[in-house]
Structure 1
Amino acid sequence: MTFIAELALVDPSETEFVDRMGLIMERMGRTRTMGRLHAWLMICDPPDRSLTELAAELGVSKTAVSTVARQLELSGMAERVPTATREHRYRTASGEWAEIVRAQLAAVRQSLDTLDLGLSIVGDDRPDQRARLKETRDFYAFVLQDADGMLERWKEYREKTS
C-alpha cells in the first residue's frame, strides 16, 4: 500500500490511478515516481503543491520529488507556480501534450540527421546494416512528414471538444 492511502488524503481509486500512471511511465522508460507525481498533479485539489506536500503525499523523499519535478518541468509536463516565498510549487502544465510531442519531434529530427550520417558512412558493401539504417531513417522521416499536421488537427479537436 502506498503512503497516499495511509494518509487518507485520497480515496483508494485515486491511489490506484496514481500508482498505475507510475507503472505506465516506468514502461515508457521514465521513472515510476515521475508517473506518480504527474498523475497526482493532474488530480490533486488545490491543483498546485509544494515539494514538501508532494513528498508527504507520495511517500517519497523531498530530494526525489524535487528532481522529478524539475524533469517534469523541463519536459513541459509540469510548471512551477510563482509564489511570494522561496517555496517551490508545481502544477500540471496546460496544453502539455502538444509541447511534449514537439520536444520529442525535435529529437526525432536530430536522429534523422544522425541516421543520414550513418547512411553516408555505411557503404553498399554492407547491405544488412544499410537496410536497418534506411528503414529506421525512413520511419523517422515518415513520422516527421505529418507531425505538424497532426498537431494542428489536435488543436482543432481540442477546440471542438473543450
Structure 2
Amino acid sequence: MDRSEAEFVDRMGLIMERLGGTRTMGRLHAWLMICDPPDRSLTELAAELGVSKTAISTVARQLELSGLAERVPTATREHRYRMVGGGWAEIVRTQLAVVRQSLDTFDFGLSIVGDDRPDQRARLKETRDFYAFVLQDADGMFERWKEYREKTS
C-alpha cells in the first residue's frame, strides 16, 4: 500500500469510528475497496493493515454480516474476502426499519405523557415527527438511488 492509499485507509478508519464502528473496520473496508487484486486472505490483510490476524478475522466477519464484504470461495481452507456492492444501501434500509419500529414507541410515549407535561410532550412529539418525516420519503429515496446508479454506472 502506498502513502496515499494508507492515508485513505486511515481516514476511513476515523470515519467508521464516527459512525459507531471500529477504526479497524473502517480501515479494512477502505482497503478492500481499493486493493488489487480485489480479494485478500486474512493473513494478507493483517500484514497490509498492521493488525493481528484475529482482529482482522473478527472485523471481516462483521463486514460480512453487515453485507459490506463477502467471503470468497477457495480450493483451500484459506479465508479470503472482497467488497460487495450495495452494502451501504442495505445498512441504511436496516436502520430505517428500526426507525419505523421506533414510531410505535414514540406513540406509546405520547400516550403516557399527558397535556399537563407540555415540555416533555413537545420533545417526544418533535422526535416522533422527525422520524415520521425521515420515513415519509425513504422508499422514494431508494428508488431515486437505483435510478441514479443506473445512470452513472
Band of TM-score, shorter chain: over 0.9
Change beyond 3 A, Cα 1:82–1:146: same
Residue 70 of structure 2 aligns with which residue? Answer: 79
Matching residue's letter, 1:24: I
Please say if 1:108 is aligned against 2:70.
no
Residue 31 of structure 1 aligns with which residue? Answer: 22
Please say if 1:47 is aligned against 2:38.
yes
CA drift of 1:158 comes to: 0.7
Number of aligned residues: 153
Distance 1:81 1:65 in 2: 15
List, as ranges, runs of 4+ consecutive aligned residues in structure 1 with deviation greater than 6 Å: none
Residue 18 of structure 1 aligns with which residue? Answer: 9
In the alignment, structure 2 segments of 5+ residues that lack a partner are: none
Distance 1:122 1:68 in 2: 42
- Contact kept? 1:112, 1:140, Cα under 8 Å: yes
Secondary structure, counterpart of 1:20 in structure 2: helix
Q: Judge which range, 100-109 or 140-149, deviates more.
A: 100-109
* Overall identity of the aligned pairs, in %: 90
- Contact kept? 1:75, 1:103, Cα under 8 Å: no
In the alignment, structure 1 segments of 5+ residues that lack a partner are: 1-9
Matching residue's letter, 1:111: S
Please say if 1:59 is aligned against 2:63.
no
Alpha-carbon RMSD across the aligned residues, in angstroms, is: 1.3
